[in-house]
Amino acid sequence: MRINPISKETVIMSENRSKRPTDFSSNKNGIEKMEFKDDCPFCIANQHMTAEKIYDSKGSYPVTVVENKYPIVSKKEDTKSNIYGFHYVVIEGREHSKSFYELKKVHIAEIIKAYISVSKDIYENEFIKYVQIFKNNGRDAGASLQHAHSQIVGINIIPEKIKREIENTKEYYKKNKICVLCDILKNEIQIKERIVHQGKEFIALCPYASTYKYEIQIVKRKHSSTMMNLNEKEIDDLSDVLKVVTNKLHRVLGENISYNIYYNFIKEDNEYYHFYIEICPRTVKGAGFEISTGIMVNTVLPEIAAKKLREAIV
């Protein structure tokens, strides 16, 4: 059993559970590659099907942001609900079936710049308490469209999970006079066995209490609570790390692997909360034990996952 030091969530490491028999076969068929799909609203010729653009990077690597037609939350003025905010879709490129890991580093940098710009705009609204950026890659990760895209949601509450993280990190800082992720990073760099890839500004590792098989956490070397103050050098390095580790995931787990990427950050810097990115491969679904207890079972030790990912040639 391992405890996530940030969320305090429990994960059971059980390699034997991966040996259970199954009569389900994984999809061996490759994704059909096409530049354009006539019924995809995100393809360049069909973007009249989407809402008005609120962000457009233009240039050689176009990234556009539009309002989500099927939002998780409605705007404050459009609802009587006690939860409201903004929900945007980030259309990551022109080609319909080009996956995130296939994008050039400079293209990924444009996506990150879009995240930062739109997040800043959302936080200009005083009622917004939290902004969540996430990407669902593949059907098993919740994606409804193949065209590469991600989402930004700003809401008027701080989610309970994030509240717990903030409180846990604050408590750790009071007790140890160091941010928990800074402390973890110092230890991980020293022992090296869970490190996947090291950039100049960011480090990718498999967390000690990984919830998912081959889960990857990307952490900034220098303490920062928000991603909204990243400079050009940091954006460039983060783009490189994201490209490398997603390529490694596809190399180890297959071209059709589904995964979620999410960015956890807060509005303003403090001494205890550390901005991080999580990549969670969706190789299995939680069963009765996980659902009933809230305790996750991981059948691949992060030390083994990190070794395989490190050794993957990309």
The full set of domain ranges for the chain reads 2-20+30-311
Phi, psi dihedrals of residue 292, rounded to the nearest 5°: -80, -30
Helix (H, G, I), strand (E, B) or coil at 159: coil
Confirm whether residue 179 is marked as ligand binding.
no
Q: Is 149 a catalytic residue?
A: yes
The two tokens of residue 3 are 């405890």
In whole angstroms, give the CA distance from residue 20 to residue 297.
13
Q: What is the pLDDT of residue 12?
A: 54
Tens of pLDDT, residue by residue over 284-305, are 888 898 888 888 899 999 999 9
> Residue 32 has what DSSP assignment?
P
Q: What is the pLDDT of residue 146?
A: 84
Using only the alpha carbons of the chain, give its radius of gyration: 19
Catalytic-role residue among 48, 87, 107, 149: 149
Q: What is the pLDDT of residue 7?
A: 78
Q: Where are the alpha helices (DSSP H) in the chain?
A: 105-123, 160-176, 180-191, 232-253, 288-293, 302-311
Confirm whether residue 43 is marked as ligand binding.
yes
Strand pairing partners for 244?
Answer: none
Q: What is the pLDDT of residue 303?
A: 98
Q: Using an 8 Å Cβ cutoff, are 125 and 57 in contact?
A: no
Sequence letter at residue 24 = F
What residue has token string 């692997």? 257
Helix (H, G, I), strand (E, B) or coil at 256: coil
Confirm whether residue 96 is marked as ligand binding.
yes
What residue has token string 């099927």? 70
User: What is the reported pTM?
Assistant: 0.89
Q: Where are the extended beta strands (E) located within the chain? A: 2-3, 10-13, 53-56, 64-67, 85-91, 130-137, 149-155, 195-198, 202-205, 216-220, 259-264, 276-281, 296-298
Q: The domain 2-20+30-311: what is its CATH number?
A: 3.30.428.10
Phi, psi dihedrals of residue 302, rounded to the nearest 5°: -60, -30
Confirm whether residue 40 is marked as ligand binding.
yes
Q: Which residues contact 8 (CB under 8 A, 6 or more apart)?
A: 164, 168
Phi, psi dihedrals of residue 266, rounded to the nearest 5°: -120, 175
Tens of pLDDT, residue by residue over 46-69, are 767 777 889 999 888 989 999 988
* pLDDT-flagged residues of the chain (< 50): 14, 16-17, 20-30
